[in-house]
Amino acid sequence: IVVGCSVGFLFALVALCISVVAFPMMLDRQATAGEAMVTSMRAVAQNPVPMAAWGLTVAVLLVLGTIPFFLGLAVVIPLLGHATWHLYREVIVKDPNARPVIPEPRERKPAADFPANLFPWRRSGRG
């Protein structure tokens, strides 16, 4: 049991380290997943105690949200999402008046072409 709990803790720690500010950063700055994960790990390395407290807070709130037949998660998940955005703004974005980066419009592709969209060279006639 101790080994299983320890391994689970290590997985949770890795998940926290690579994702603590990754999702808000990808939404705000159109960063790639790799850039966001590296930035998240740097934020944890620079602020280990507050990030550990944040991880404990997330774990406790998720457990409390599951107690009333998982209905509490309807309150806890949006609350944690909002708090994560504020954590990102506090740790990563130094300018309080900074605005999100607006991405350039992408070419719209119909959903019916989904598998073909994964392989654009097949549609262009190059082989």
Please provide the DSSP assignment of 46-110 as one string. H-HHHHHHHHHHHHHHHHHHHTTTTTTHHHHHHHHHHHHHHHHHHHT---TT--PPPPPPPPP--
Give the pLDDT band (50/70/90) at residue 29: confident
Residue 101 lies in a domain: no
Q: Which pLDDT score is estimated for 30?
A: 80
- Please give the tally of structural domains in the chain: 1
Residue 119 lies in a domain: no
Residue 77 lies in a domain: yes
Residue 112 lies in a domain: no
Residue 91 lies in a domain: yes
Q: Which pLDDT score is estimated for 127?
A: 45
Higher pLDDT, 66 or 110: 66
Question: pLDDT tens across 70-105, in order?
Answer: 999 999 999 999 999 999 999 987 776 777 777 777
Task: Give residue 74's domain range.
Answer: 2-95
Residue 113 lies in a domain: no
Residue 123 lies in a domain: no
